């Protein structure tokens, strides 16, 4: 019996009720519970919000990309003003397609936007209209051996002659022009250099153009020799010396190479400028090497 009582006493001692939880302690537990619930809710809301934001951003980016694609299709991209512009050489600008650069036609009193060869048969076209200022043009054609080379579909000398003959065909009846040629005598051999360098010839003296005679002069030579550009310019200057100072005088040099006769083209150009006449020097080059291009650009 004593053993039984001891067991019961022990059991009773182990299951003695604990002291009741105070209201303050219970309130604290509830506060912690609510805080944890709030933090969890805030965390879930943040995840949901981020998902919505990225989904909206991705959709917006796709919409912008589609709008840009549509804009590019409807408005082809053009070079912006801050890009390096493409500079076109003035000798390549030929608005009416008559093989004569626009600046040459403007300087000689013609409309660069109209091919007078075609307009001559049109009603009301006056082929003999007088320009306000008299213009004199001396053509200097390079007929050195290198001009026999091919450029494009024809020889360089043939391309130069054809362009000149088109100019002759559409020229006004009172056009004042002259023709000087070099390199058409001798040969490219060293033994003929002195002869070729000296033979600079006035094939048509500066004056009112007789179209038939001028065309015959253009067809009268072939490219064989050397290149005395400087002395050819000086000869053109002497031709202008007898004209009035009020005239506009143009030298149009057609060449494909550098000076080979030591006649100083740049020095000759400076001498022409010191003559006191209104002289403009223009150069048309064919297949120029860098050295020749630099020299002829300085002359012009």
CATH code at position 232: 3.40.50.410
Residues 116 and 261 in one domain: yes
Tens-level pLDDT at each residue, the chain (300 residues):
444 444 444 444 444 444 455 555 545 545 555 554 554 544 445 544 544 444 444 454 555 556 555 554 544 443 433 444 444 566 668 777 666 777 777 766 677 776 655 444 444 445 555 555 688 899 999 999 999 988 778 899 998 998 889 888 888 888 899 999 999 999 989 999 999 999 999 999 999 999 999 999 999 999 999 999 999 999 999 988 766 677 888 999 999 888 999 999 999 999 998 888 888 999 888 778 888 888 888 888
Residue 158 in domain: yes
CB atoms within 10 A of CB 202: 16
Which residue in 234, 89, 218, 118 sits closest to 165, CA to CA?
A: 218
Residue located via tokens 């001559």:
120
Which residue in 211, 47, 199, 66 sits closest to 127, CA to CA?
A: 211
Residues 114 and 217 in one domain: yes
Say how far residue 139 (Cα) sits from the centre of its chain. Answer: 28
Residue 214 in domain: yes
CB atoms within 10 A of CB 99: 16
Residue 96 in domain: no
Question: End of a domain among 48, 67, 86?
Answer: 67
Residues 253 and 201 in one domain: yes
Residues 291 and 201 in one domain: yes
Read off the tokens for 159: 């391309």
In angstroms, the first-to-last Cα distance of the chain is: 140
Q: How far, in Å, CA of 188 to CA of 147, rounded?
A: 12
Residues 59 and 197 in one domain: no
Residues 260 and 156 in one domain: yes
Q: How far, in Å, CA of 206 to CA of 249, rounded?
A: 11
Q: How far, in Å, CA of 279 to CA of 299, rounded?
A: 12
Q: Check residue 31 and give its pLDDT.
A: 53
Residue 270 in domain: yes
* Residues of the domain holding 274: 108-299
Residues 52 and 162 in one domain: no
Report CA dihedral (43, 48, 52, 58) to the nearest 10 degrees. Answer: 80
Residue 129 in domain: yes
Q: How far, in Å, CA of 172 to CA of 110, rounded?
A: 9
Residues 171 and 294 in one domain: yes
Residue 198 in domain: yes
Work out how many domains the chain is built from and give that number: 2
Residue 136 in domain: yes
Residues 56 and 113 in one domain: no
Contact present, 236 and 279 (Cβ < 8 Å): no
Residues 60 and 131 in one domain: no
Residues 259 and 144 in one domain: yes
Residue 17 in domain: no
Helix boundaries (H) for the chain: 2-14, 23-74, 102-107, 116-119, 156-170, 193-198, 211-218, 229-240, 265-273, 290-299
Q: How far, in Å, CA of 169 to CA of 215, rounded?
A: 9
Q: Check residue 130 and give its pLDDT.
A: 54
Model-level pTM greater than 0.85? no
Residues 164 and 274 in one domain: yes
Q: Check residue 20 and give its pLDDT.
A: 52
């Amino acid at each position: 019996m004593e053993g039984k009582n001891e067991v019961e006493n022990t059991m009773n001692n182990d299951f003695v009720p604990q002291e009741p939880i105070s209201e303050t302690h219970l309130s604290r537990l509830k506060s912690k519970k609510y805080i944890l619930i709030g933090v969890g809710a805030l965390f879930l809301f943040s995840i949901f919000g981020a998902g919505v934001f990225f989904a909206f951003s991705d959709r917006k980016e796709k919409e912008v990309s589609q709008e840009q694609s549509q804009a590019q299709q409807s408005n082809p991209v053009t070079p912006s003003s801050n890009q390096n512009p493409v500079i076109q050489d003035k000798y390549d600008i030929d608005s009416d397609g008559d093989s004569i650069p626009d600046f040459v036609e403007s300087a000689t009193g013609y409309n660069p936007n109209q091919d007078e060869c075609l307009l001559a048969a049109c009603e009301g076209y006056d082929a003999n209209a007088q320009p306000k200022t008299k213009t004199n043009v001396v053509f200097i054609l390079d007929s050195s051996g290198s001009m026999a080379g091919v450029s494009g579909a024809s020889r360089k000398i043939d391309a130069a002659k054809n362009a000149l003959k088109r100019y002759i065909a559409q020229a006004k009846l009172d056009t004042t022009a002259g023709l000087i040629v070099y390199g058409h005598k001798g040969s490219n051999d060293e033994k003929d250099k002195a002869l070729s360098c000296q033979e600079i010839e006035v094939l048509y003296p500066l004056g009112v153009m007789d179209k038939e005679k001028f065309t015959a002069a253009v067809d009268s030579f072939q490219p064989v020799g050397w290149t005395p550009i400087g002395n050819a310019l000086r000869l053109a200057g002497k031709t202008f010396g007898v004209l009035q100072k009020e005239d506009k005088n143009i030298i149009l040099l057609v060449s494909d190479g550098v000076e080979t006769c030591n006649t100083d083209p740049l020095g000759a150009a400076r001498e022409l400028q010191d003559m006191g006449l209104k002289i403009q020097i223009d150069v048309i080059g064919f297949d120029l090497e860098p050295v020749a291009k630099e020299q002829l650009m300085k002359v012009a």
